[in-house]
Amino acid sequence: MLAIVVGLVTVLGYAWQLVDREAWEAVLADESPTGPDVAYTVHATTELSRYLARNLIAQEDRISVSAFMDDNFDEALSDAMQEAAAQNPDVFINSWQWTTSASGAWVEPAYTYDDAEAERRRVATAQAVDAIVASPAVSGATTQVELVTAIHDAVIAATEYDDEFYQSTLGATIEPGPDQGQEAYEALVEGTAVCNGYAQAFQLLADAVGLDSVIVTGTANNGLTTGRHAWNKVLIDGEWLVVDTTWDDLGAAGARHDYMLLSASSPLLASRAAGTEWAIDSAIAGYGE
């Protein structure tokens, strides 16, 4: 028996030299898959959400989720997909479904654009972000508050609120889609957007200057928009503060700062309520909601 054990150890030791060490360590540790490498920032609060976001940015047609399945998987998957779509401006998705069989489980997304158009939009948006970050107002900012102010004003300067689209939908939806002004691309490149486009643009600029931010969706009943709305929160000195570039956009009159860096207790926020679709349910309280 000892000879067999020694022989087995010898064979395994030899095999260890032949295969990729990290791959073997992942198997032995029973690690969850991480998804494809992507050239864009990924926002996620769970391994599943991060894995899905990476696959969605890569526009994978069929995403295996077998490794994540457990007794409450239906709810966990829906939660993670909502967060991955809401928090990542480089994801372009209209809908999705998931299927199971004896051999595993998969998510099958329906993307807004084909691969070439999606990447064209990502690249053009990244170039617009780079240009803003290089501007004197942003590059010269020395504090977090100055950075927030600079990118807040830059989003408003770059974007005209799409009142025509808003009036046609009466604020009934913020689901992303073509020609709906819901994307950072439309805000920063095409120059016309509604609230989610403003919020996505701020998110990308916050990423670029090293600020922690999140996109919040919910309802609001005064200001420029009524009904469904999107805004941001940014982490300053350990507190998540509201930034609403949409409501601070005065059009031809420029930018105001009434809805910038507001605490949750501000009376200006009394008429709005965050929903639950923008982040993992268990994580929402951590943003001060």
pLDDT by residue for the chain (289 residues), tens only, comes to 333 333 333 333 333 333 344 443 443 344 568 999 999 999 999 999 999 999 999 999 999 999 998 878 889 999 999 999 999 999 999 999 998 888 889 999 999 999 999 999 999 999 999 999 999 999 999 999 999 999 999 999 999 998 776 666 654 544 444 446 899 999 999 999 999 999 999 999 999 999 999 999 999 986 555 688 999 999 999 999 999 999 999 999 999 999 999 999 999 999 999 999 999 999 999 999 8
Q: What tokens appear for 95 in the block? A: 């809908």
217 membership: H or E segment, kind and range: strand 213-220
Strands 63-64 and 227-236 come out as unpaired
The answer to whether 181 touches 168, Cβ cutoff 8 Å, is no
pLDDT given for residue 74 in this prediction = 86
Q: What is the pLDDT of residue 25?
A: 41
Q: Which positions ≥6 away from 228 have C-beta within 8 Å?
A: 171, 172, 173, 174, 217, 218, 219
Burial of residue 38 (number of CB atoms within 10 Å: 0-12, 13-18, 19+): middle
Residue 178 backbone zone (phi > 0: left; psi -120 to 50: alpha; other: beta) = beta
